[in-house]
Amino acid sequence: MNFALIAFSSLLFCFSLMPLIRHEYWIFRIFDYPRLQKLFLNCLAFVLILLLYTGLAQTKYIFLALLGLNTAYLLSLIFPFTRLAKKQVLKAGPHNRQVSVSVMIANVFQDNTNSGACLKEIAKADPDVILLLETNGRWDIQTRSLESTHPHFKRVPLENTYGLLLYSKLELSDTSVKYLVENDIPSIHTKIKLKGGQLVQLYAVHPTPPVPTENVRSTERDKELLLIADLAKGSELPVIVAGDLNDVAWSHTTELFLKMSALLDPRRGRGFFNSFHAHYFFIRFPLDHAFVSRHFKLIKIKRLNNCGSDHFPIFLNVQLDEGAYHEQQPLQADSSDKEEAEEKKEKI
């Protein structure tokens, strides 16, 4: 029993420290994801050693101290996404439909055949803009009815699980499909015209994850996100970046993306909004994201009901606000952040 407790605790230390190694190989990056799970297991190990360990007292106290420090470290990483933390995107005033836009992001899971449930959830949420990910030709055909309510659209169905379908009630302009890093991984770039006439720049993205069955390194994902960050920061319009980023909200890469783009995360100060895995509550992470520029304040962010996918849809409603730009501050990039970003963009 004593050996098992020490071995279990030692593994937890390794799993917690692995993300600090900035190597892009998947075995290091995969440990960015389960921060909540590691925190739970760390607390469990602390209690088990406290109550059940019968070896040397000195060893017991050393491991209790290390587990305590590890708990504090893990808490510091997830604290910004708790309700105790400062909100990065402030709450909007009275809803003004002339300057607001709602977006629903749904990774439908390409092999999911329950398109009817997806359409029902869309009708229930009634978003201005719909972004469907992992959409192939079958999903394209089965969701064509959205044209009746969302007459502006751009469809990029693909059979490789990286197809995108974008539908909008609001007028779209300057719409293009870009393949920024890989020639079979698209992103949609478009301008949305709000009811009041203001334009908003939208980037819809779904980069590949660092897993053995896709890319064994995070190089492609990181580069695409940082290229989008440059576009967002250089835009003269208010910006929304939405999609399945295949990265968690608290990872180093996502934080680097926020610093380089000057965008804000509406989850900070509100909750995790875990979107994957929909079928297993104990391995859930926030993989589906919507980041906004400082021009917006938040009306609502919500995780919607599952539609047969391995992802929950995410709903975001934001509103332009005259004072928001000066009231809200993005994360600041220092020289080392900028150097790292440039190095990542130069790869491949």
168-172, 185-189, 253-257, 280-284: least confidently modelled range: 280-284
Residues 248 and 219 in one domain: yes
pLDDT of the residue at 30: 84
Of 81, 115, 150, which residue sits at a domain end?
Answer: 81
The average confidence (pLDDT) of the chain is: 95
The mean per-residue pLDDT over the stretch 156-183 comes to 98
Residues 60 and 131 in one domain: no
Q: Per residue in 112-133, pLDDT tens?
A: 999 999 999 999 999 999 999 9
Q: Per residue in 92-109, pLDDT tens?
A: 999 999 999 999 999 999
Q: Which residue type is seen at 66?
A: L
DSSP 3-state of 217: strand
Residues 114 and 225 in one domain: yes
Half-sphere exposure of 192 (CA within 13 A, CB side): 31
Residues 210 and 281 in one domain: yes
Q: Which residue type is seen at 68?
A: G
Decide if pLDDT at 161 tops 80.
Answer: yes
Residues 54 and 191 in one domain: no
Residues 67 and 104 in one domain: no
- The verdict on residue 65 lying in a domain is yes
Residues 104 and 77 in one domain: no
Residues 121 and 45 in one domain: no
- The verdict on residue 88 lying in a domain is no
| Inter-CA distances, 5 with 74, 164, 177, 196, Å | 20, 47, 52, 62
Q: Per residue in 211-225, pLDDT tens?
A: 888 888 999 999 999
Assign 53 a pLDDT band (cuts: 50, 70, 90): confident
Residues 173 and 211 in one domain: yes
pLDDT of the residue at 213: 84
Domain that holds residue 114: 100-346
The mean per-residue pLDDT over the stretch 34-50 comes to 93
- The verdict on residue 173 lying in a domain is yes
Cα–Cα distance for residue pair 255/341, rounded to 1 Å: 11
Residues 112 and 224 in one domain: yes
Phi and psi at residue 293, to the nearest 5°: -80, 175
Express as a percent the part of the chain with pLDDT over 70.
Answer: 100
Decide if pLDDT at 348 tops 80.
Answer: no
- The verdict on residue 22 lying in a domain is yes
The mean per-residue pLDDT over the stretch 163-167 comes to 99
The mean per-residue pLDDT over the stretch 27-45 comes to 90
- The verdict on residue 92 lying in a domain is no
Residues 19 and 121 in one domain: no
- The verdict on residue 213 lying in a domain is yes
- The verdict on residue 93 lying in a domain is no
> Which stretches of the chain are assigned E, i.e. beta strand?
100-107, 129-133, 152-156, 164-168, 171-178, 187-193, 199-205, 239-244, 288-292, 296-303, 314-320
Cβ contacts of 274 within 8 Å, gap of 6 or more: 284, 285, 286, 303, 312
Residues 146 and 269 in one domain: yes
Q: Domain containing 240 — which CATH number?
A: 3.60.10.10
Per the structure, the count of domains in the chain is 2
**Taking the mean position of all CA atoms in its chain, how far away is CA 346?**
23
Of 51, 81, 111, which residue sits at a domain end?
Answer: 81
- The verdict on residue 293 lying in a domain is yes
Q: Which residue type is seen at 289?
A: H
Of 21, 52, 81, which residue sits at a domain end?
Answer: 81
